[in-house]
Structure 1
Amino acid sequence: METDGGRRYVYPTNVPGVGVAIWSGSQSFSETRSKYANFSLPNSGDLGRNLLLDISLIKTGPIASGSVVNASSFPHLTWDIATGGVNIGYAGLPIHLIDIAFTGSINFVTQTCTPQNVTVNMGSVGNSFFKGKGSTAGTWRDASVQMTGCPTFSGYYGKSNPQSSDGSGTASGGTRVANLFTLSVTPAHGLIDSANSIMALESGTDAATGLGLQLIYGKVVNASVSDMYNARNMWKSGSSWDVPAPTDGRTSFKLPLAVNYYQTADRVTPGKANTQFTVNIDYK
């Protein structure tokens, strides 16, 4: 199976949707006996070899919330010095070196957050605020998405920062990687200025003309409007961005967004200046 770590033999666990892969270096272990390394001892003495293994859980399908993966369902690994082949002529073979088995359990939580719809009051903005094409209406308004009822985001140990165990015992060390929210935006009425990703307003006989809506975003939860303005993360049509999930156990927070009117024509005419956009949120 192709994984983000390369092609691996992936075995089922006791939980549908969760597989496990065991490998060493570039070699992925299968159910059939395969050569791991050559031993050579041309002179008398002792020969020492280490067996360094990597193990990863692989998502192979949907995982039910509350599932408990038992490590006892993982494959067992054996290491032998086999007989036959290049070992012909050596006495005492085969030699059984090691058995590796796993214990413990891992709980899976697939609870989702509940995002709240947002209505932003832009207020009444006079023509004097607009200074020409490309100008904004002064005050940026908070349009952040409030997330509630979230699970505790515990993060994960990735392939670059795994936990380890020497010999036997509980794996330790490593550094957790925060879970990520990936956000993108879909304007309801398209763009009025594609070059600057300015969203178009609702049309109508009483609609304002000569302006659209500009969007900025933050890259950390609960970022303030001033933080977003200072960072200048301007939304670009078709783009997406990541926001790390909080790691302190909080279950409610904001994914930061802010909006402002943006002049797109030489002249702005008064009227209603309403629009909508959808925020698409994925998290992993």
Structure 2
Amino acid sequence: MKSTEKADKNKIKNIFSYAIALSLGLMAFAAHADDCDFATGQGPLVYTVPLTTPNITIGADVPVDTIVHRQRITTDGSRTPYLICHTTNSALPFDIEQYVHVTNTPGLVPGWGGKYAGKLYVTSVPGIGVAVVNDDGTSASVGQPLDFTPLFKWSYPSTQFGAASVMIRNNFTLVFVKTGPIAGGLINGAQLPTVVLDVKGSRSVTGLPRETYRENFSGSINVIAGTCKTPDVTVPLGSYSMDKYFNGSVKTTPWKPFNITLTDCPAFYGTYTNSSNSPGFSVGGAQTPGLRGLNRFVMNISPTFGAIDALKGIIKLDGADDSARGIGIQLATGDASNSSPVPFNLGGAYETRVDSGAPGTHTIPMQARYYQTETRVTPGTANSKAVFTINYH
């Protein structure tokens, strides 16, 4: 009887020792389970990004579906969140996957079918929409506009960065698009979408998924839109004797300079649309102004009575009963100091760039003269008309 009791006690001790060993094994396993957490002070983070360009001018004739402004946003390494991750087996790391999306969005541009359709949001300026376009990650994700659905950017093994420290970064661009007539006003940064970056594991990981950081916007962009007044212009060309002009050796009269004057113009600040050199803001880093594109006047001239030679800019006279015959009027661009102005190609357009930080007046210098177009010239009045049209870009 005593021998049996002793055997039972030994059996109990063995079972107990196995239980302890099993428990220790489980504890050791738990200490190395898959998990991720932020390094101290490294996340989750919230940033507020200012709109950096104070003023832009968008010409009234810029076509709908044109990009009218860009701003790039990056994150400096000193402001980049870091995750500390552990894995049960360094030979079999789990993947950390990054996804980006937007939230707190205003409404979509109603009925929009142009650039970034379905992902272009209204701004506080009617006629301008905004898209948030991803700038880094896989080739499939770069250039993609964001919405509520998380966009996969990239993944990498949890052990890729040495001591299980995983850097989280996010680059994107705000792209502003003309969606209709623009009256001007302020684009309010606080009303733009919020950009959110999340991470998750390729398998079940303690601490994932989670938000790493989000970016809101502040400040404003002053949008100028408008046109100039263009009063009529009368150009006196003078009277000429046929003994001196149109006699076979002299076929033209002297150039007469005049200006097409544009008054009550808005300020022309230009725009920033260059995709490789747009204004940039780095959270915790440098701010870059970007390459400014100047506004443009584009002028077309349509002769009321038709053209004799469109390439040379020669227009017909009005054909009145007392009108001269055998001559026309030649139009050219260039100011009075230019003795050889450039003939205005009536089939094309004249373009000039404009840069001004305040409302004012602008001029397009031109010249005109009589031009013999036939062998025989008959004297008389020599009047004509033309309509000039200015497009603003």
TM score, norm. by length of structure 2: 0.63
Counterparts of 2:336 and 2:193, CA distance in 1: 52
The question of 1:280 aligning with 2:389 is answered yes
Q: Where does residue 252 of structure 2 map in the other structure?
A: 136
**1:238: how far off?**
2.1
Whole-angstrom distance in 2 between the partners of 1:79 and 1:141: 65
SS at match of 2:343: coil
Give unmatched runs, 5+ long, in structure 2: 1-63, 69-113, 136-142
CA positional deviation for 1:200: 0.4
Q: Residue 95 in 1 paired to residue 207 in 2?
A: no
Alignment match, 1:33? 150
CA 1:34–1:175 in 2, change beyond 3 Å: closer, same or farther? closer
Give per-residue Cα distances to partners, 1:23-43, cap 9 Å, x unaligned. 123222122212122233454
Shift of 1:64: 2.5
Code of the residue aligned with 1:51 in structure 2: it is: N
SS at match of 1:252: strand
Equivalents in 2 of 1:194, 1:12: separation in Å? 44
| Secondary structure at the counterpart of residue 269 of structure 1 | coil
Deviation of 1:254 after TM superposition, in Å, equals 0.9
1:15 paired to 2:125: yes
- SS of the residue corresponding to residue 157 of structure 1 reads coil
By how many angstroms is 1:112 displaced? 2.6
Distance 1:237 1:251, change over 3 A: same
Total equivalences in the alignment: 272
Instruction: Give 1 or 2: higher strand fraction.
Output: 2
* Aligned twin of 1:221: none
Correspondence for 1:176: 292
What amino acid is aligned across from residue 15 of structure 1 in structure 2?
A: V
The 1:2/1:150 distance shift into structure 2, 3 A limit, reads closer
Structure 1 spans left out of the alignment, 5+ residues: 219-223
Q: Measure the CA separation in 2 of the matches of 1:81 and 1:90.
A: 11
> Where in structure 2 are the equivalents of 1:133-282 lying within 5 Å?
135-137=251-253, 139-160=254-275, 161-167=277-283, 172-194=288-310, 196-218=312-334, 224-227=335-338, 229-230=339-340, 232-247=341-356, 249=358, 251-282=360-391
- What CA deviation, in whole Å up to 9, does each residue of 1:217-246 have, x standing for no partner? 24xxxxx2233x44x432112211211113
Conservation of the 8 A alpha-carbon contact between 2:130 and 2:176 = yes
Q: Shift in Å at residue 213 of structure 1? A: 1.1
Provide the rounded CA distance (Å) in 1 between the counterparts of 2:226 and 2:308: 38
CA contact (8 A) 1:192 1:200 kept: yes
**TM-score normalised per structure 1:** 0.85
Change (3 A) 1:175 1:278: same
Question: For residues 3 and 28 of structure 1, do their structure 2 counterparts lie closer, same or farther at Cα, with a shift above 3 Å needed?
Answer: farther
Quote the residue 2:199 is aligned against: 81
Asked if the contact 2:228–2:263 (Cα under 8 Å) also holds between the matched residues in 1, the reply is yes
SS at match of 1:58: strand
The 2-side partners of 1:258 and 1:162 are apart by 39
* Cα distance change, pair 130–90 in 1 and its aligned pair in 2 (3 A): farther
Tell me how far apart the structure 1 counterparts of residues 188 and 383 of structure 2 sit (CA, whole Å). 53
Which amino acid in 2 is paired with 1:21?
A
Over 3 Å counting, the alpha-carbon distance change for 1:108 and 1:7 in structure 2 is: closer
Change over 3 Å in CA distance of 1:122–1:3 after alignment to 2: closer
Deviation string 1:128-169 (CA, Å, 9 cap, x unpaired) is 2336499321x2112321111112211121224311111169
Q: State the identity as a percent.
A: 30
Letter in 1 for 2:326: G
Which structure has the larger Rg over C-alpha atoms?
2
Backbone CA RMSD of aligned residues: 2.6
Partners in 1 of 2:147 and 2:220 — Cα distance? 23
1:10 and 1:19 in contact (8 A); partners too: yes
**More displaced, 2-11 or 254-263?**
2-11
Equivalents in 2 of 1:194, 1:153: separation in Å? 32
Cα distance in 2 for partners of 1:216, 1:240 equals 12
Q: d(CA) in 2 for partners of 1:249 and 1:2?
A: 27
Instruction: Give, in whole Å, the separation in 2 of the partners of 1:133 and 1:76.
Output: 74
**Per the alignment, do residues 11 and 132 of structure 1 end up closer, same or farther by CA in structure 2, a change over 3 Å counting?**
farther
Q: 1:91 to 1:3 in 2, by over 3 A?
A: farther
Instruction: Work out which structure has the larger RCO, using CA pairs closer than 8 Å and 6 or more positions apart in sequence.
Output: 2
What is the SS of the residue equivalent to 2:337? Answer: helix
Q: 1:97 to 1:54 in 2, by over 3 A?
A: same
